[in-house]
Structures are given as structure tokens and as C-alpha cells.
Structure 1
């Protein structure tokens, strides 16, 4: 609806005061807002004052031309919001300047209003209040989009640095250590999550956020971590130790069974080696069929030694070639070894009759020549399994 001539006349009286109003907002009205006084003078005198001036003129244009709110009207507000986000101004402070600016403009209209112009003043306030939500929405949306993009970029950089350090590709220079808050010893963890049922990326991200939250809470700090749907690697700065119930806490948060391998690193330069050892401990624990839980090198010391590759490795791994196409035999062997060659425990774990277990073990001995009843044969079978798993 077109405004009355009285309303347009009242608004026109504020036209000569645009620069004064902008300066008052930037240098007086906003000074009482928490944190505003700490902003640089050039930001106040140039950018914030210019934004306030643009806002006042935009209002006056709307009064004279109700169709003035065209696409692009909020471009300057959006640009300034992106700048403030990049500079780190809190969103609440940015929104308060806009809200307070509306109040200062209302005061200016009230001050120039004459007796009998109450109806005209109400018309102008109606225009002012109707246009304000769109401005605030544009400012908040742009600010949050910019912060989200910046946060995503920082997370990507952090993940890249972390991956480079764990893989030994990026040397632990001072800048890297400052970014990751690493100074001295650290604990390196390898996490293994059971395969989840088929799910979308949103469900995976939610699970990983819950895992990260548990890690941060348990260790009392924001823990650098590279996580994915299968697990990941974690660096915990400091000389603390993982609590024994960490796998249970992570399982409760993720809804999956979790393995955790822990290795101590004496300094940043030893982190790649510790990460490699932790990953290998996790693999061996899986390959040996150990129950999910917290694993250290001492828990798989013999298996770790047997799985080291040398000139004889391929020949040991080849001992199981005759049964390579019989996955049920390999699984029976693996379960039998992980249950300390207890045929009844093996049968219970595989939901088989003990006689079936005996028949399968006999078939393995027959086809491979490995005597599973002797200590030497048991060691050979275990080494062959571990070496084949490492090849895969």
C-alpha cells in the first residue's frame, strides 16, 4: 500500500541527517554493546558506518518507492556479514548492531515528527519493522554460511596435517605441532568398528560425532582424530593412558563393537611409527579372533613377531594355499587358535558340533601337512594365518 504524503514528508526530513545518523550509530550508539569497543577504529568509521548509512538510505528509498526492495537489495549487508564472520566478530554482536540501528532510526523519525503527525510516524514504523526481519535473515544466513565454510576448510586442513603426520609424510615441524597442540609424548590409538548395517552418510557422520565426543570427554581435551565408518586413528597429547573401559564407552556411543589398540609415542617424531604399530596390533587382534576390547603390544607380542615379513614369509604363508578356497576351514583354524585349541569352545563359537570341528582340523592337517597337535605346527599355522592376512 502506498504511503501517505505526510509519511513521505516526515521521512524526507531525515534525508539531510543520513551521515550524522550513521556516525552516531558507529561511534556512539553501538559503543555500549559488549565487545564493540574492541573493534578497530577503521572498521567502525568506514565499514560499519557505511553499512549503517546504506541501511538508512535503503529505508528512505522504500518510503519514496515501495518497490525499492528488489533482488540485490541486501548485497552490501551480506558482504559485510561475510567480512565480519571472517574477522571473527561474534554473530550476536553483529545482529545487535543491526537491531540497535533500527532503534536509532526510529528515534530520529520521532525527533523530527511534529504534532499531528502521529499517524504518519506509525506508517513509517510499520515500514521499518516489516523490512527489518529480511535484513536480519540475510545477515545471519550469510554469516553462518561463511563460518561454516571457514570451519569446513579448517577441519580439512587439520585432517590433512594429521594424516600427513600419522603417515610420516609431513615432518613434525613447529607450525604443524602448534596446530595439533603436540609438544611432547602422546598416546596413539587405532580404532576398529564392526561393519554397520547399510546406512547413509548422515548416519555415519552422526556416529562419528558421538565417537569424537566420547574421546574428547574421556581425555579431557579436544582430541585430534581421523575417523571414518570403519574406525580411524587418534592422537592424544600428553602422557596419559587409555581407560580400560574406553572400548565399551565407544561401543555404547556408536552402537557397534569397537576395538582399540594403544601405543605410546615418546615425542612427535615417533608418532608415525606408533601409528603403524597400533594399526598392526589392531589387524593382528582381528586376525587372531581376540575379543573386542583394548589391545596393547604385550597382548599380541608373539603374534606380532610371527607376522613380521622376511625372506621366509611367502613360504610360510603358502602353507595354507591348499585350503585357500575353503573359507570354512580357515575360519575354523582361526577360531580354534584364538580359543587356545579348545575344541568345545571353538565349536560353541562357530555353532558347530565338536566332531565337525575335529573333522575340519583333520582336513587341514591332511591337505597342508601342518600338525596342529604339536607346538611347532600351531606356531606355523598362526604365522601363516597372520602373514596371509597382512598380504590381503
Structure 2
């Protein structure tokens, strides 16, 4: 325990030799043993240059042993100021990217060697002193660990802040079409030949609506899981601008935009699947590949693709332009789209018929699957489809008409302005007829 200034230091000795003297006398040999154990048992130290290991790291080991010997001599734990060198060394390890667990383990290795050195000469008559020195080792280790971890994370936080600033600066330059090369050079970042641009729409987690649960905390927890899974399953540094309901992610790719393979897209799709599973939410993503200078246009395209996929009631997942090509083209403003929308307009006053047509199309023209989705008898589905055909003059169950009905429904969605809204809001909009397309 810590002692007052006026308290005499303890007299801890084995075989008539003070323990602090045993440590001081054995300092060179003891420091060498600590280094050998670090190399053997903490792998990261085996990768350090020899001059660093035998120079800086050895000096830190000797300082730690010296501080403990001084504690044995004076009976007082070292102050933070006296442990400053150890704190600074931990900060350097953080800057070098050494894991914090390796740094902490190194100090435990040193404490174990010191204890072995002191107890080597102990006998059964020294039990009281053995207990006392063991407590002192634990107290010293506690003080040292707190100091080292504080130094490590203070530096790591500074490094992470700088890394985040660099990523944000590059992301801003890419999205705004600014000087990407100059920005990357200023921050020391690498710019790949291509980015896979993802526009994400993230659903709400059930916890965000639970009574007594902070929706802010639940939302941040969801977002953290999404970021972790994205970084874990994608190679390279992903640039993100995400909030609770979605945002943007730029995934680096070493392939030129026109040569991105299906396997590379499959990896991104797999990452999205992991994100959905771990975060426990639905995620829909529009995606496009682009060279760094073309990112602004790719962002706009990915956003539009995601909106089209949502408006056409696709399930959660990743979509590229080829996946929604027909709907995308049909939803472009123009006289052809308005003419198509007019074909379905009579059903806007009969939302139950329009919903049945949509379900039938979603279910691959299967009346039984549509009936199951709508929780009704297949005969009811047949009746509603017949009524829709009588009103519009187009029979969705007929091969020649099915494609035209699908196109007309997509055009109606676009004309009603449901692109980009949530599925529930889109359904409400569809149930509220406005003026027909002109």
C-alpha cells in the first residue's frame, strides 16, 4: 500500500539481502530475460527491428524495473510523473499500430520476471515477506497498467481523429468532384482506380421503438454494427457518411470500373448480407462503379437505382442498374410514361384491386403465392384480377398483357411520386388518387 512521507520504508529482504538491491544488482541480466520472453511470448515484439528492441525497448524495461526497485526501497508507489517515460513509450507503440493487449502483456511479463528474481532466494521462513512483496508487485502493476493504457489510448485517439479527418476530406473531394489527387497527397492516402458506390437505406431496429429504450442509443448501436461489418468484410479503407437511416459508402476496388467482376460485386453483396444480419435491420442499396473523377455521377445513379428498387417493391438487398433496367427506364419522365400510367389509373379508386395486381406480379404470376401473401383465398385473387381486367382492359394473367401491366404499374408509381419514399408511405400515396397524368 502507499505510505506517508514520514513512514519509514519496509525492510524486505531474503537471505539478508534487501530485495531492491537484488533487483538493482541483477538489472542487466533481468532486462535481457524480459526481452527474451517478450520475443518468445508476445509475437509483435519479434517483428521489431533489432536496434529498436535492444535500444528503446530495453531502456523502457530497465526504467520499469528501476521504478519498482525504488518502490521497494522507499515503500511508496511511483507518481505519474515518475512513470512518464512508460506513458510516452506506450504512446509510441500506439502510433506504430502495436495492439494494446500486446503492450499490457509486455508489462506483465516484466513483473513476472521481477517476482521470479526476488523469490528465487526465499525460504519457508520468509512467508510474511513473500506475501508483502507479492502485494507490492500487484500494486505497482496496477499503477503501471493504468499509466500505460492511458498513454496508449490518448495517442490512439489522436491517431484515429487524424485518420477520420483524412477519410472525411477524401470523401468530400470525391463526392463534390474536387481535386481528389491533391487531397489524397496532402493526407498521405492512396486512391484506387475505382470505387463501388453504395447508396444505403437502413431500416429501423425494433429496439428504436421500444418503450424505455433510448432510440438514439439503439440507433447508434445499429450504425456501429453496420460499420464494423462493412470494414470486416471489405478489403481496403471504406469511406462512409452514414446516419441512422442510411447514407453513402465508397468501397475501394483495384479493378477499372468497366472491368469489375461478378465476384467482386458478390463480395459486396455478401458484406451487405452480414450487415443486415448483425444489425438486425433491412438494408437496401443502390450500387454503381466509378473512377474517382466520376464518383459524383455514380452517387446520383446509385441513389436513383435504390429509389427505383424500393418503389418497385424489391426485397432488401443490393441492386445495380442492370437489376432494375426496365423499371428505371419506365420511370423516366416523358409522354410514354404518362400514357402507360393512364392504363392503370382507373384502379387508383379501387386500391384492393391494384394491390392484388401488384401482389400477383411480385409473386411471379402465381395466384396461390399472391393469395398467401394477401392472406385470402385463391378464388378471391382470381375474382379481383378479373375485375381489374374488366376495368382496365388489360388481363395480367394473359401472356401478351402481363408485360404491359407490369410496365404500367411502374409508370403509375413514378407518376404518383412514390420513388424514394418508404414502402408504407408509397402504399399510402397509391391509395390516395390525385389527378391523372396529363
**TM-score, normalised with respect to structure 2:** 0.59
Moved more, 162-171 or 293-302: 162-171
Change (3 A) 1:236 1:253: farther
- What pairs with 1:250-329 in structure 2 (closer than 5 Å)? 251-265=276-290, 267-308=291-332
Question: Equivalent residue for 1:125?
Answer: 133
Contact kept, 8 Å, 1:82 with 1:143, in 2: the verdict is: yes
Match of 1:58 among 71, 93, 96: 71
Contact kept, 8 Å, 1:188 with 1:278, in 2: the verdict is: yes
Question: Equivalent residue for 2:12?
Answer: 7
- What pairs with 1:1-392 in structure 2 (closer than 5 Å)? 7=12, 10-11=17-18, 14=21, 28=32, 30-32=34-36, 33-34=38-39, 35=45, 37-39=50-52, 43=56, 49-62=62-75, 68-69=76-77, 72=80, 76=84, 77-78=86-87, 80-89=89-98, 91=100, 92=102, 95-97=105-107, 99-100=109-110, 103-104=113-114, 107=117, 122=130, 125-126=133-134, 128-139=136-147, 141-142=149-150, 145-146=153-154, 149-150=157-158, 152-153=160-161, 156-157=164-165, 159-161=167-169, 163-165=171-173, 167-168=175-176, 170-173=178-181, 176=184, 181-199=190-208, 200-201=218-219, 203-205=221-223, 207-208=225-226, 211-212=229-230, 215-216=233-234, 221-222=235-236, 224=238, 226=240, 229-231=244-246, 232-237=248-253, 238=255, 239-241=260-262, 242-243=265-266, 246=270, 251-265=276-290, 267-308=291-332, 332=355, 335=358, 339=362, 349-351=373-375, 353-354=380-381, 382-383=410-411, 385-386=413-414, 388-390=417-419
How far apart, CA to CA, are the structure 2 residues paired with 1:120 and 1:342?
Answer: 86
List gaps (5 residues or longer) in structure 2: 2-6, 40-44, 209-217, 394-400, 422-438
Question: Equivalent residue for 1:370?
Answer: none
CA RMSD of aligned residues (A): 5.6
Question: Equivalent residue for 1:65?
Answer: none
Contact kept, 8 Å, 1:102 with 1:128, in 2: the verdict is: no
CA displacement at 1:103 relative to structure 2? 3.3
Contact kept, 8 Å, 2:180 with 2:292, in 1: the verdict is: yes
CA displacement at 1:281 relative to structure 2? 0.5
Aligned residues: 367
**What secondary structure sits across from 2:289 in the alignment?**
strand
How far apart, CA to CA, are the structure 2 residues paired with 1:51 and 1:327?
Answer: 81
CA displacement at 1:335 relative to structure 2? 3.2
CA displacement at 1:210 relative to structure 2? 6.5
How far apart, CA to CA, are the structure 1 residues paired with 2:351 and 2:156?
Answer: 50
Contact kept, 8 Å, 1:290 with 1:338, in 2: the verdict is: no
Question: Equivalent residue for 2:432?
Answer: none
**What secondary structure sits across from 2:180 in the alignment?**
coil
Q: Deviations over 1:76-95 (max 9, x none)?
A: 34454334423445543564
CA displacement at 1:133 relative to structure 2? 3.4
**TM-score, normalised with respect to structure 1:** 0.64
Moved more, 277-286 or 30-39: 30-39
CA displacement at 1:180 relative to structure 2? 6.4
**What secondary structure sits across from 1:39 in the alignment?**
helix
**What secondary structure sits across from 1:264 in the alignment?**
strand
How far apart, CA to CA, are the structure 2 residues paired with 1:326 and 1:155?
Answer: 56
Contact kept, 8 Å, 1:207 with 1:254, in 2: the verdict is: yes
How far apart, CA to CA, are the structure 1 residues paired with 2:183 and 2:390?
Answer: 59
CA displacement at 1:285 relative to structure 2? 0.7
**What secondary structure sits across from 1:183 in the alignment?**
coil
